Structure 1
Amino acid sequence: MNALPDRRLNAYRADLAEEALRGAVDAVRYTAGTPARINAPVIGLRPRPDLTAGIDTELLYGETVRVLDRADGWAWVKADFDGYVGYLPEAALLGADKVATHVITVPRTFAYTGADLRTPAAFSLSLGSRISVIGESETRGTRYLTLESGQSVVANHCVPVGQLIADDYVSVALRFLETPYLWGGRSGFGIDCSGLVQLSMMMTGRVVQRDSDMQASGLGTPIDRSDLRRGDLVFWKGHVAIMEDPETIVHANGHTMSVAREGLQAAIERIGWLYEQPNGYRRP
């Protein structure tokens, strides 16, 4: 019997499946879905339409999805960026009629109700969020960009879509130091180990898969521990860390419950009781 496709990356149920799976899985009907974008600062993507279910990953403000189904206040979606499939509250979606013009480049920032830092903050935005800018202004020497929704963001907290913020993704990852650890997290408000890898690489123009097992099998090429250098990855079963230099890692971890630096050898000794020894080293 052929194994069913990975449900994290393939949308299928008995009653409905994505059109790309026609002929590969059985379903009552198939759909190409409809485009939408995220209208929440960050929203959890869950394996089932239930707020008590733990999140698998998160989507950021302005990211786009294909909506496969809507029912009982929930939407079943597939993320355009990495193909992740799951459920989120339907209220977190807007139509896809607006195209993002800019990307947030700082770990966290605010959308203000006016073009002035003294006005109330309407909502927060994470690094990687995508916004649609319709104008700009200056108040007391600070430039602001006006969003389609009427709020304003500080101009130097973002760059135009397509402009990379760094060549070295490790420097992006280091911006997250002391960010709280969050299982399934993928934002400046809370992040997990593979989310740190994915989001940091995204800001340097790379598209990588979401979970550590996906990254361990498909990202870059295997190397030996003796060859480790800045930017390489160390994998344990269920965990990944980024090499800051040949002896130091940076990773989102449940020990400090944050993104932190740690000596590689010390981490191997500490983590061993839970995740055993590293099962791979890769150069992305």
Structure 2
Amino acid sequence: MNSLGKQAKRRESTNTPEGFGLIGRSAALDRRIHAVRGDIADIALAGVLFAPHYARPMTRRCSVPVAAVREAPGDDAELISELLHGEAFEILDLSGAWAWGYSAHDHYVGYIRQDVLDDSPAPAWRVRVRSAEVLNAATEGASVRERLSMGALVAGTLDGDGVETAKGWIARESLQPANHVGGDPVTFAQQMIGVPYLMGGRSVDGIDCSGLVQLSLALTGVSAPRDSDLQAEALGTPRAPDAALRRGDFIFFEGHVGMMVDAERMIHANGNANAVSIDPVADVRARAAAKGVDSFMVRRA
């Protein structure tokens, strides 16, 4: 995500002790990726901090094409991420219409509506194209029941040149095995060119800079954190100072990330174009410098 304010807000809460009424050992944790509130914490943190109550996660999966993960329980709360169809959410607490926990693929903590989660089986396939149609039958002229975004997961069995799922039939060419490893993340990212920019988004309906990187890497079997500052610590290795930029390099500005398409251009979801676009790095640097950010970092995949 390329909002410094948003990341700063989430990081600030990491070091805020309010709500811990017990005295004991605790640690400053990043609450974006460590599930802890004043009243409850993930049982995995029991040896790290002292909390009034610990909960074991209960796994459920997203049953709709895209579901909002929010900062607080409420449809008007800030969108911090999204869950795609078939992705798992680890529930730690249920209250009213909302579940609190974290996305299994990146451990990102937030609230999601209970009615978009179910106990469907583990998926076998992942959507590899920008958008996949779910048809009511494997016949010509079949109607479209819904469309799933790149990265969505489905359970189903091979049926001719497609996969039959609980919701309908999907062309095999639109899918790859869920456990697929390999490929070029930049090629996947390029399929998303023109997708609207959306802070917190991870789908073809809207995506942010770190969401684009995370999603593109997932298609190659590589797990990545949710936010750009976390990605800057986890992805790739530092580039040699004298090395030229090349395709696949991750390029980080303050609060922003993209991937190099070649030695001079990067692909990124950005507010300038209000969409996913390919731009000369020199132009991106100039815009950043105009805002007082005159440095960047490159990590090699």
CA offsets per residue over residues 64-108 of structure 1, 9 Å max, x none? Answer: 121111111001121111111110110010015x12111111011
SS at match of 2:247: coil
What is the letter of the counterpart of residue 181 of structure 1? Answer: Y
In structure 2, the CA distance between the partners of 1:259 and 1:225, relative to structure 1 (3 Å rule), is farther
In structure 2, the CA distance between the partners of 1:225 and 1:268, relative to structure 1 (3 Å rule), is farther
CA offsets per residue over residues 154-196 of structure 1, 9 Å max, x none? Answer: 22111222234x5221111111111111111111221111111
Displacement, 1:135?
5.0
**Alignment RMSD:** 1.8
Instruction: Tell me if the contact between 1:126 and 1:187 (Cα under 8 Å) persists in the aligned partners.
Output: yes
Matches within 5 A, 1:76-225: 76-96=100-120, 98-116=121-139, 118-134=141-157, 136-137=159-160, 143-149=161-167, 151-164=168-181, 167-223=183-239, 224=241
Instruction: Tell me if the contact between 1:69 and 1:76 (Cα under 8 Å) persists in the aligned partners.
Output: yes
Partner of 1:40: 64
What is the letter of the counterpart of residue 132 of structure 2? Answer: T
Determine the C-alpha separation between the residues in 2 that align with 1:198 and 1:121.
Answer: 28
In structure 2, the CA distance between the partners of 1:225 and 1:81, relative to structure 1 (3 Å rule), is farther
SS at match of 2:145: strand
Identity, % of aligned positions: 34
Higher relative contact order (CA 8 A, sep 6+): 2
Partner of 2:8: none
SS at match of 2:146: strand
What is the letter of the counterpart of residue 199 of structure 2? Answer: W
Instruction: Tell me if the contact between 1:74 and 1:87 (Cα under 8 Å) persists in the aligned partners.
Output: yes
Partner of 2:290: 273
Name whichever of 247-256 and 45-54 sits farther off: 45-54
Instruction: Tell me if the contact between 1:103 and 1:158 (Cα under 8 Å) persists in the aligned partners.
Output: yes
In structure 2, the CA distance between the partners of 1:135 and 1:171, relative to structure 1 (3 Å rule), is closer
Instruction: Tell me if the contact between 1:236 and 1:275 (Cα under 8 Å) persists in the aligned partners.
Output: no
In structure 2, the CA distance between the partners of 1:189 and 1:116, relative to structure 1 (3 Å rule), is farther
SS at match of 1:256: coil
CA offsets per residue over residues 221-262 of structure 1, 9 Å max, x none? Answer: 222375321111111111012111111111111011111111
TM-score of the pair, normalised by structure 2:
0.86
Partner of 1:140: none
SS at match of 2:91: strand
More strand by share: 1
Q: Does 1:50 align with 2:74?
A: yes
Determine the C-alpha separation between the residues in 1 that align with 2:230 and 2:158.
Answer: 40
Structure 1 alignment gaps of length 5 or more: 138-142
Q: Does 1:11 align with 2:27?
A: no
Matches within 5 A, 1:238-257: 238-257=255-274
Provide runs of 4+ in structure 1 moved above 3 Å. none
Displacement, 1:32?
1.5
What is the letter of the counterpart of residue 165 of structure 2? Answer: L
Displacement, 1:123?
1.7
Structure 2 alignment gaps of length 5 or more: 1-14, 16-25
Partner of 2:3: none
